[in-house]
Every structure is written in C-alpha cells, then in structure tokens.
Amino acid sequence: MGITILLLDEQDSVIHGFIPANRASQFRSCLKAGSIVRLDGFEVARIPHMYKITEHQFVIRFIPSTRIVEVLANAPVIRSDKFLVRCIDHLQVLANTNLELPDVVGEIRSVQGSDLQNDTATTRMVVRLLIEPTVTVNVSLWDEAASAFRGRLRDGDKSQSVMLLTSVNPKLFGGNLYLNSTQGTRFYFDTTLPEIAEFVSRVGATSAQVYSCVDTLEGIKKKELVSIKDLNSFISNSNEQTQEADFLCKARIVCVIPENGWSFVSCTGCHKK
C-alpha cells in the first residue's frame, strides 16, 4: 500500500509520514533510519482512524513536489527514538478495535515456537511477556518479526529479558489478551532506555532474567479432527495452567465484512495480495 515512516523533530514531537506505493521508488533511496532530513513540498491530511502509530492528529503525505534532503552540516540535535507505550488497561480498551498500534514493555518469561534456531523461518512463535507484576500476556510474532527474534535466539543472545516492542495489535480472544506483531514491530533491549528502566524499577523485574525456550520442531504429537466449536471451547476454557496447542485450520470464506474498510496482508512468498 505504501511506505510508513515516523518523523521526530528537535522539539520531541513525532508525526506519521506516508509515501504512496506509486511514489515509493522516487523516495526510497532517501530513506535511512536515524538520518536528519529537511522535508518540504508535502501535503498534510488528517490521520486515518485505524492503525494509528502516533498520537498526532495529522499525517505528512508525500506528493510529486515533495523534496527530502539529508542534512549533513549543522544538523539539529534530535533524539533517535520515541515510543507510544501503553499500560494493560489501555491495551484492553484498544483490543479488537484496530484503532492504534501501541508499544509495550515487558519481561520475557518463555518463548515457544517451531525451529527456534532457524532465523529464516517465519512461522508464528509465542512470547509470554510479563507487563505488570501480576499480568502476563501472549505476544504472537509473525513473518519478519518472528524471523528477527529467531535470529536473536540463534545467536544465543538471552542476556536481556526485558524488552520494548513497537507497533503491536492488541486482540482479546477467549477472555485473554494477545499482542500480535505487525510489519512495524521492532525489538529494543537497551536497559538505558527510559521506558525499560522505568519498567524494571516499577515491576521489580530483572533485565538479565533467564527465560525458557520450547522448540516444537519435533512436530505434531497428536492429530485429531475437531470442529470450530471444539476450538472455541478449548480456547475459552484455557488458562495459564493448561497446555497450549497449535491448530491448522481449513475453512471456506463465506463473507467479507466491509464496514471497517478493506485492507490486505500480502503473501510473504510472492508478495501478491
């Protein structure tokens, strides 16, 4: 659909920028994370109500007359990042609304997935994340995010267990909160980040806590055919003490509900809609 960027200025204000797909080739070579740029000739529009990644009400849209130039001399001092961290109460309000893609800080308690040491694998993996002293949620990592996290596990880098995730999509299922990764999800483990330092102080977490990894590469140990009703019953009656299970589902699409607009996720293999 296009390229989404975040622009942070010297006043510590952040705004959402968007480059439509038909202009991506014009500006792609100018985009470098962390660079200081001068931008002019753009269009300002109200930000869409769905999938917001900042609190700003407007978005900078790139048009044919837009110019972006990197500032190499006498550049202003600008922070390299700013986050939209939300607490558990706010995450629950946002769940299933698709209104906002917030950031979250937590302590990794466990990791589960298939082929965890293969950073080319993009299948779903689940991270159990403590985000409050008594609240643990499931973080589902997909596609590039799953691959990036596997790369960290492959390198044996488990020295830091408190992390900050960006742009997650909160969902409630069976009464449980799930945080799903998006294409904007990134991982930060730097203990000097104020958001991570505040979490460690508030929750009493240990940034170097060792967490367990469960690799399900051995495959499915039990195969059985169940109905959607059975799946719903399993999830609804599950809690932290019950075992988790992976399901493969074959179903027929009977209706696409257009009331919230239409969007798509491209295939990670062929990149088609």
Which part of the chain is CATH 2.40.50.140?
A: 2-70, 88-215
Q: Report the relative pairing of strands 58-61 and 43-46 from DSSP bridges.
A: antiparallel
CATH T-level fold of 88-215: OB fold (Dihydrolipoamide Acetyltransferase, E2P) (2.40.50)
Residue 235 CB coordination number (10 Å): 14
**pLDDT of the chain along its 273 residues, tens only?**
788 888 999 888 999 899 988 888 888 888 888 889 999 999 999 887 788 888 888 999 999 899 998 888 888 888 888 898 998 999 999 998 888 899 999 999 888 888 888 888 888 899 999 998 888 899 999 999 999 999 888 887 677 889 999 999 999 877 788 999 998 899 999 888 999 999 988 887 776 677 888 887 765 566 677 787 887 787 777 665 455 566 666 778 888 777 766 655 555 566 555
Q: Residue 193 corresponds to which tokens in the numbers above?
A: 């980040």
State the pLDDT at residue 265: 59
Kindly tell me the sign of the dihedral angle through the C-alpha atoms of 193, 196, 201, 204.
negative
Three-state SS for 1-65 is CEEEEEEECCCCCEEEEEEEHHHHHHHHHHCCCCCCEEEECCEEEECCCCCECCCCCEEEECCCC
State the pLDDT at residue 228: 79
Of the CATH numbers 3.20.20.70, 2.40.50.140, 3.30.70.100, 3.40.50.1000, which one belongs to the domain with range 2-70?
2.40.50.140
CA–CA distance, 128 with 19 (Å, rounded to integer): 35
State the pLDDT at residue 103: 94
State the pLDDT at residue 211: 82
> What is the reported pTM?
0.74
CB 5 within 8 A of CB 31: yes
With left for phi above 0 and alpha for psi between -120 and 50, is residue 243 left, alpha or beta? Answer: beta
Q: Is 180 exposed, middle or buried (0-12, 13-18, 19+ CB in 10 A)?
A: middle
List beta partners, residue 3: 19
State the pLDDT at residue 106: 92
CA–CA distance, 248 with 226 (Å, rounded to integer): 10
Sequence letter at residue 248: L
State the pLDDT at residue 219: 57
List beta partners, residue 39: 68
State the pLDDT at residue 208: 67
Q: Find, among 52, 164, 54, the residue nearest to 103 by Cα.
A: 164
